[in-house]
Amino acid sequence: METQRSWVSLGEKGSSLSSCSVYKISTRVAQVRVDSSALERLSIKNPEIAQKKSSLTIPQDSTIEELRASLVVLLNKLLISSSSSSTISRVLSEILNSKEFDMAKIELTEGEGDFLEKSCAPLIGICSVIDNKSVAFSRVVDAVAALSCEALKATVKSFSSLDSGDKFAIEVASDLNVLPNGSKLVVGDNNEEVEAVSKIPGIHGRFRDVVKDLMLGQN
């Protein structure tokens, strides 16, 4: 039995597209629902006329997830900007909701092709995938760091009073205080301050900062 999927609405006035929503659609955890008023608006503003069309160009070394993420961002931008006919928007939403991923069905007019080139949709889509995977990876990195503290029998007392002014470093220090909580290996009176351990909050904090920078606006 197929797992029940959630829906992400695109094209609604005042709405925004988060990197989390892009990732859910790219991994087929969620499906796309295009706002009917957005399609109607496109039909009126850009009626379908015979034009020379070309295929969609996206980096060939992209994974399926990254390709799907790129299409999500492109679809959202086309709907919001009203820069295309309703036809391409319907095609993109159908492809994203289909089990079969067929890029050959996508044909763009010259204007839509120019819009894609200027929109940075592939870059934003790929960054959205990296963003969500990096968040999960950062948790694993912190857990490994906590285990390393135990293995080294290094004191983590300094993490409790860290006041570097770096928000992310302070967050990491707080997490590292919680992860080995109750472990006798990090609370002994004879435990020494290990320089490499004391640098963990700053290094991992920088990683979190970089991950946050990947959370690009999708509109």
Average pLDDT of span 5-23 = 85
The pTM is what? 0.69
Closest CA to 22 of 143, 128, 97: 128
- pLDDT more than 70, % of the chain: 77
In the predicted model, is pLDDT for residue 186 greater than 70?
no
* Tokens describing residue 39: 């399609």
What integer pLDDT is reported at residue 31 of this predicted model?
A: 93
Q: How confident is the model at residue 84 (pLDDT cuts 50, 70, 90)?
A: low
Average pLDDT of span 16-43 = 87
Q: Which of 11-20, 115-124, 154-163 has the lowest mean pLDDT?
A: 154-163
Domain ranges of the chain: 6-119, 131-213
Cα separation of 175 and 169, whole Å?
10
What integer pLDDT is reported at residue 24 of this predicted model?
A: 93
What integer pLDDT is reported at residue 219 of this predicted model?
A: 44
Q: How confident is the model at residue 109 (pLDDT cuts 50, 70, 90)?
A: confident
Buried b (16+ CB within 10 A) or exposed e, 31-69: ebebeeebbebbeeebeeeeeeeeebebeeebeebbbbb
Cα separation of 67 and 130, whole Å?
13
In the predicted model, is pLDDT for residue 217 greater than 50?
no
pLDDT tens-place string over residues 34-47: 888 877 787 777 66
Q: How confident is the model at residue 1 (pLDDT cuts 50, 70, 90)?
A: very low
What integer pLDDT is reported at residue 48 of this predicted model?
A: 60
pLDDT tens-place string over residues 132-180: 887 778 788 888 888 887 787 777 776 776 766 778 888 888 877 777 7
Q: How far from 26 is each of 1, 20, 72, CA to CA, in Å?
A: 21, 10, 8
What integer pLDDT is reported at residue 216 of this predicted model?
A: 46
What integer pLDDT is reported at residue 206 of this predicted model?
A: 83
Average pLDDT of span 174-193 = 68
